[in-house]
Amino acid sequence: MSGSGRHPALDCVHCGFCLPVCPTWTVWGREPDSPRGRIEIARAMLDGAAPTAEMVSHLDSCLGCMACLAACPSGVRYDAVIEEARSRVEASGVRTSADAGRRSAIFSLFPHPGRLRVAAVFLWLWRITGLRWLTRATGLTRLLPFIGRLDALAPDLGFGEVTSSLPAGARAAGTSRGRVALVGGCVQRVFFPGVNEATLRVLSAEGYDVVVPLGQGCCGALSVHAGRDDEARAMTRALVERLEASGADTFLVNAAGCGSHLKDLGHLFRNDPAWRDRAVEFSRKVKDVTEFLAAVAPRAERHPIPGKVAYHSPCHLGHAQGIQDPPRALLRAIPGLELVEVAEGDQCCGSAGIYNLVQVEASDELGARKAANVMATGAPYLASANPGCTLQVQRVLREKGAAVQAAHPIEILDASIQGKPFPGRRG
Amino acid sequence: MSGPASLSDLAGRMAAVVGARNCFSAGPDLLTYECDGLTHGRTRPDLVVLPGSTAEVVEVVRLARASGRPIVPRGSGTGLSGGARPVPGCVVVALSRMRRILEVNLEDGWVRVEPGVLNLDVTKHVSAAGHYYAPDPSSQSICSIGGNVAENSGGAHCLKYGFTVNHVLGARLVLHDGKVVDIGGPALDAPGHDLLAALVGSEGMLGIVTEVTLRLLRKPEATRTFFATFPSTDEGGEAVSRIIAAGILPAAIEMMDRLAIEAAKAATGLDWPDVGAALLMDADGPAAEVEDLSARAVKIAREVGALELRLPRNEAERQLMWKGRKSAFAAVGRISPNYLVEDGTIPRSEIAPVLREIESMARDNGLRVANVFHAGDGNLHPLVLYDARNGGEEERAENLGGDILRMCVRRGGSITGEHGVGAEKAAYMADMYGESDLETMQWVRAAFDPEGAMNPGKVFPKLRLCGEKPGPGGLEHPAVKSGEVQRW
Ligand SMILES: Cc1cc2nc3c(=O)[nH]c(=O)nc-3n(C[C@H](O)[C@H](O)[C@H](O)COP(=O)(O)OP(=O)(O)OC[C@H]3O[C@@H](n4cnc5c(N)ncnc54)[C@H](O)[C@@H]3O)c2cc1C
Ligand code: SF4
Ligand code: SF4
């Protein structure tokens, strides 16, 4: 919040420096679909204007990538502006019932790993039975846009992956350097369980005891970013309680979207005297796993992984958490690995939480741009620390008949420590 | 073409030209176009239209004019004089969808672009080949080439390389009646009237620019940067005058005072000290020359009492120093709830006394003024800080801003160095120019746009618009004589 204690929308001085980094402004060039425009809309709501369908469409089209937050010289808390504006929208009842129904279908699925797993099993069956091709061929997926999107996004999974749950934890190899707790991440846990396993192996090899508290639900990030604050607070409280009970004093996250949310709980609980201080204290202990590892001296030997790897900087890591160097440094330390940057690397890939499920057109435009830039690097491998981004980029590449082999930086590090080749799926 | 009957009819026809998603007529959409980089003084337009090509601009202009509505062109909306601020009942034509780079000719050193292309994107596009586009407003990451042309924008490096006008080779212009005119071109010095010079800096009043041919430069062989701090702006100003008087032409020499340094630090996390003044200087050119120039400039800075001299260790550090400077305006938002950016010029030798006078004027008014500016050009940017929530403070700030500009004129300078006159400074034009000066400008404008349909109400003092004064003695524009159009 601003030093003056006013509503953050009032801190905007209209310089426009946030526009060129905003993906929706870049693709459309329309002021209401820019951070500056959305702040104006929030300001109008603050002045008493009732949310209208137009306002909602511009707020909905925001990816929440926070590139604008990082670019703003005035320090405007865009994250606070958009979250508040969205909760006003949700409270106003302006959404049409069909729209609200579709959004709540997504929310009833996504932030609940259990339900997501059921959906994933369904998807898996749907695919292996060939039903998928049937529905694709008949255009049934078009009639069921949501299932269609999920189908296009989801990687091909084996049955074991679909039904796997969180790993139990790991002991430090050699003398222990400390004890950390790991947050599982719901989309990641279901679609990319390998990331959690790799994280455990790396932390253990580097000398840390890792606990993975049982019964972890979603951290609430997806709900916060969409303005569903009450739902978010309930989920967050439950997760915080589980993690605190682990007794660890470092909470590691390997999904950027979860990390950016968990590091900023003070804001979510700003009006809750019982939780405010506890939330701030908790957030202080949250670290991205790459941030944590880059700050300690490596212990395990790195084996070579020769080849060119394009680095994708997920918005929730690079912009929202300001983590640019740590993952790159970890990767560059792998012998033989040549890390290359993706042009327009600061731009969002269009995945952005649930965005690719509800804002199809913009998401596709951004995805195409990102995929073209990834292809232009000529790298056969992609390092991406966010499961949403990885799904998105691979989907678009697949549609273009191209492919890169993508993995989370921690999976790459794990492979290097184990002396294995570049991991991940070729999608 | 028959005129559209109603606003919704007009909106429908515009949407048919540019696509429904690129035509805004609903309140919540329009409110985002109510102002540019100058936020006080907002006006809601009737319509906002975003054409995608010259042909669409022609259609849009014709439709707007057939409905009798004035037209306000808009680029990225970063202007600081209210140039793109709508006027009541207008159609805003925003060029931010026209962002294609149309042709690059590195051999002859030019590039042809659409007006919505961002200033920095031109350089990004040609930098791999060792070229760049020289004018670099601090807003270069976002301001558009069309806006730069309209404002004749400058930047830190314009001291050595000149303003936008020195880098525009040609332009395509859509006039008020939809006619398309090509002015200039890649060849140097086109015969006939230099209409290009009239167009650059005309603030959207002559027509809508839909293509621009820009000159490209080769990147200099070497660049040396240094950052020097001083106890006060007195020594800083003295250093600038002496460096330039010694025959050194820096590529850029920028000054920041205490408040501006504080803001830049807050925005970028730079570890600059809290001092009375700082200079950021670039020397560029052949390596040997650059070494010599910067060594001499450093020596002068020391002689006049520099506290500390810092040289960036690498390009990243250099970029960060410049980022600090270029973010300074907007960063002032961190140290004050509201502020006005003024833009006046003074002779270089007057920097120190003028800054002292500004400080005492501010004190008399109970306000603070931050200064961050193009010192080499004597182009001041006093930022008047205020809090709009305190009754009467905004008005006091505006008055102080006006007094500062008038003082600049008294000192032999002008009311704008690079931000244009726009809506904001029209009232001060009479302090700068005599009646016949203004009339001559009006004639030029009327030759392009006899009806005053393009960006009306800007630049010229209001007096003229009300027709309270008769036109130039004896001379009557034929269209005025025939009663076809009214005088401005
Ligand atoms: C933080 C900050 C720093 C700045 N620093 C500098 C600086 O160092 N130097 C400097 O010179 N300026 C500076 N500016 C001012 C501003 O960025 C420039 O005036 C810029 O050229 C405006 O470009 P724009 O695309 O935003 O134009 P807008 O603000 O949208 O429009 C400016 C004027 O151009 C007209 N116009 C726009 N496009 C067209 C077109 N295609 N055809 C005809 N008319 C058109 C508009 O009608 C208006 O009169 C700064 C602004 C900010 C916010
Ligand atoms: S969060 Fe991303 S999409 Fe949303 S306004 Fe900011 S930059 Fe644009
Ligand atoms: S960069 Fe910050 S101050 Fe500037 S327009 Fe964007 S939000 Fe507002």
What's the complex ipTM? 0.91
Helix, strand or coil for residue B320?
helix
Closest atom of ligand 3 relative to the A15 alpha carbon: 4
- E strands within B318-392? 338-341, 344-345, 368-374, 379-380, 382-386
Q: Are residues A85 and A137 in the same domain?
A: no
Domain count, chain A: 4
Task: Please state whether beta strands B71-74 and B91-94 pair in parallel, antiparallel, or not at all (unpaired).
Answer: parallel
Task: Please state whether beta strands B277-285 and B338-341 pair in parallel, antiparallel, or not at all (unpaired).
Answer: unpaired
Domain contains A426: no
**Which of B74, B206, B209, B256 most suits a substitution to test ligand 1, by most atoms within 8 Å of the C-beta?**
B74
Task: Give chain B's mean pLDDT.
Answer: 90
Would you call B334 and A74 a contact, using CB atoms and an 8 Å cutoff? Answer: yes
Q: Which residues line ligand 1 (CB under 6 A)?
A: A 15; B 36-37, 72-80, 83-84, 95, 115, 137-139, 143-144, 146-148, 150-151, 153-155, 203-204, 208-209, 329-330, 418-419, 455
Chain segment B139-166, per-residue pLDDT in tens: 999 999 999 999 999 999 999 999 999 9
Q: Among the bound ligands, name the one nearest to the CA of residue B82.
A: 1
Chain segment B444-485, per-residue pLDDT in tens: 999 999 999 999 999 998 644 333 333 333 344 444 455 444
Report yes or no: B332 and B383 within 8 Å, Cβ to Cβ. Answer: yes
Nearest-10 crossing angle of helices A131-138, A113-128: 80
Q: Which domain holds residue A406?
A: 307-418
Q: Any idea what the CATH number is for the domain that residue A87 is in?
A: 1.10.1060.10
Which amino acid does the sequence have at B106?
Answer: L
Tell whether the model's pLDDT for residue B223 goes beyond 60. yes
| Other residues' Cβ atoms within 10 Å of the Cβ of residue A367 | 23
Chain segment B301-348, per-residue pLDDT in tens: 999 999 999 999 998 899 999 999 988 888 998 999 889 999 999 998
The pLDDT score that the predictor gives to residue A157 is 44
Chain segment B165-195, per-residue pLDDT in tens: 999 999 999 999 999 999 998 876 667 788 9
What kind of fold does domain B101-218 have according to CATH? 3.30.465
Tell whether the model's pLDDT for residue B359 goes beyond 70. yes
Provide, rounded to the nearest whole percent, the portion of chain B with pLDDT above 90.
81
Residue at which a domain ends, from A247, A268, A294: A294
Task: Please state whether beta strands B168-174 and B110-113 pair in parallel, antiparallel, or not at all (unpaired).
Answer: unpaired
Report yes or no: B140 and B120 within 8 Å, Cβ to Cβ. Answer: yes
Partners of B47 in the β-ladder: B91
Q: Any idea what the CATH number is for the domain that residue A312 is in?
A: 3.40.50
Report yes or no: B112 and B93 within 8 Å, Cβ to Cβ. Answer: no
| Other residues' Cβ atoms within 10 Å of the Cβ of residue B193 | 9
Q: Are residues A284 and A174 in the same domain?
A: yes
Q: Are residues A205 and A156 in the same domain?
A: no
Distances (CA, A) of B378 to B159, B284, B328, B352, B407: 10, 20, 18, 11, 14
- How confident is the model over B198-225, as a mean pLDDT? 96
Chain segment B244-303, per-residue pLDDT in tens: 999 999 999 999 999 999 999 988 889 999 999 999 999 999 999 999 999 999 999 999
Q: Are residues A176 and A289 in the same domain?
A: yes
Residue at which a domain ends, from A271, A294, A317: A294
CA of A65 to the centre of ligand 2 (A): 5
Give, for B327, the enclosing helix (H) or strand (E): helix B315-331
Domain contains A299: no
- CA A349 to CA A390: how far, in whole Å? 9
**DSSP code at position B472:** S
Q: Are residues A129 and A226 in the same domain?
A: no
- Tokens 């200079």 belong to B279
Q: Which of A14-23, A165-174, B83-92, B397-406 bottoms out in mean pLDDT, i.e. has the lowest?
A: A165-174
Contacts of B463 (CB under 8 A, 6+ apart): B430, B469
The pLDDT score that the predictor gives to residue A317 is 86
Domain contains A52: yes
Domain contains A208: yes
Q: What is the Cβ-side half-sphere exposure of residue B200, based on CA atoms within 13 angstroms?
A: 24
Report yes or no: B464 and B438 within 8 Å, Cβ to Cβ. Answer: yes
Q: Are residues A255 and A203 in the same domain?
A: yes
The pLDDT score that the predictor gives to residue A170 is 86
Q: B387: which 2 tokens?
A: 């809090």
Q: What is the pTM of this model?
A: 0.75
Domain contains A300: no
Q: Are residues A84 and A63 in the same domain?
A: yes
The pLDDT score that the predictor gives to residue A193 is 72
| Other residues' Cβ atoms within 10 Å of the Cβ of residue B280 | 24
Spans of chain A, pLDDT less than 70: 1-5, 95-166, 185-191, 215, 217-218, 222-223, 225-227, 351-361, 425-427
Task: Please state whether beta strands A208-211 and A178-183 pair in parallel, antiparallel, or not at all (unpaired).
Answer: parallel
B372: closest CA among B70, B115, B138? B138
What kind of fold does domain B7-94 have according to CATH? 3.30.43
The pLDDT score that the predictor gives to residue A184 is 77
- Each domain of chain B, given as residue ranges in start order, spans 7-94, 101-218, 222-426, 435-481
How far B394 CA lies from chain A's nearest CA (Å)?
A: 15
Partners of B285 in the β-ladder: B222
Domain contains A312: yes
What chain A residue is nearest to B389 in terms of C-alpha separation? Answer: A6
CA of B156 to the centre of ligand 3 (A): 22
Domain contains A2: no
Domain B222-426 listed as CATH 3.40.462.10: yes
Which amino acid does the sequence have at B27?
Answer: G
- Tokens 């405010």 belong to A276
- CA B150 to CA B165: how far, in whole Å? 10
- How confident is the model over B398-417, as a mean pLDDT? 93
Is residue A129 lining ligand 3, measured as CB closer than 6 Å? no
The pLDDT score that the predictor gives to residue B478 is 45
Domain contains A427: no
B437 or A231, greater pLDDT: B437
Residue at which a domain ends, from A294, A320, A351: A294
